[in-house]
Chain A
């Protein structure tokens, strides 16, 4: 069966510091991968999606970036965090066929102080 893991689960970072969140998927090949953000009391906002290695599309302009160095690995990064980057970050995957279900990782709580 397929599994998705992301880490770290929780982190507190000062303003201006870098960020790296990592996600891996097991049990499937060539998945579509996603990074979402959920601010407190808000809906899910799609940040990035990837349909293959090195293929990243951004949905929202911001100081975040994403990379996919391997088929089942997805990384969310920032060089300098802002207070507004605080939130719940979710990695997700779906089969590489349109219409299939999106499955989420456990999520990472980021607090920028």
Chain B
């Protein structure tokens, strides 16, 4: 069983629309959740992290966490062509003394002008 799952996509949305990216995880005790953006050929860069149930907003990005459902999502409002990238969900189960963050396979997002 995969530990962190994401729809591989590609997810296509028109410019200005809301893009919704979803992620589920298997370890119910997980405590830290991250979203990274990775442009083609580049390294992942952190967009947001979330620790508590509910929503966390940062500009056009909103992360949503539901620990009971083991579900975390990322909403991108007013999507721009520059948002076209692969989005990686990452989960830290905190079972060890180091940050063994587990990454999902990523969802490819394409924003159509």
Contact = CB atoms under 8 A, between A and B. Distances in A.
A104 B43 contact: yes
A15 interface: no
Contacts of B101: 102
A105 interface: yes
Interface residues of A, number: 20
Interface stretch (B11-19, B55-63, B65-73, B86-94): B86-94
Interface string B98-109: 111101111000
Contact of B88 (A44, A99, A101): A44
Nearest to A99: B32
Contacts of B90: 102
A107 B96 contact: no
Nearest to A107: B43
Contacts of B104: 43
Contacts of A103: 46
The dominant DSSP class at the B interface is loop
Interface magnitude class on chain B: 20 to 34
Contact of A98 (B42, B51, B94): B94
Given A49-B98, A90-B43, A101 B34 contact: yes
A101 B1 CA distance: 25
Contacts of B100: 46, 49
A43 B43 CA distance: 12
Contacts of A101: 34, 46, 49
Given A43-B106, A98-B97, A100-B99, A107 B42 contact: yes
Interface string A26-41: 0000001000000000
A14 B105 CA distance: 29
Interface string A74-113: 0000000000000000100010001111111111010000
Given A51-B98, A106-B43, A107-B42, 8 more contacts: A43-B106, A94-B99, A98-B98, A99-B31, A99-B51, A99-B92, A99-B94, A107-B43
Interface of A: 32, 42-44, 46, 49, 51, 90, 94, 98-107, 109
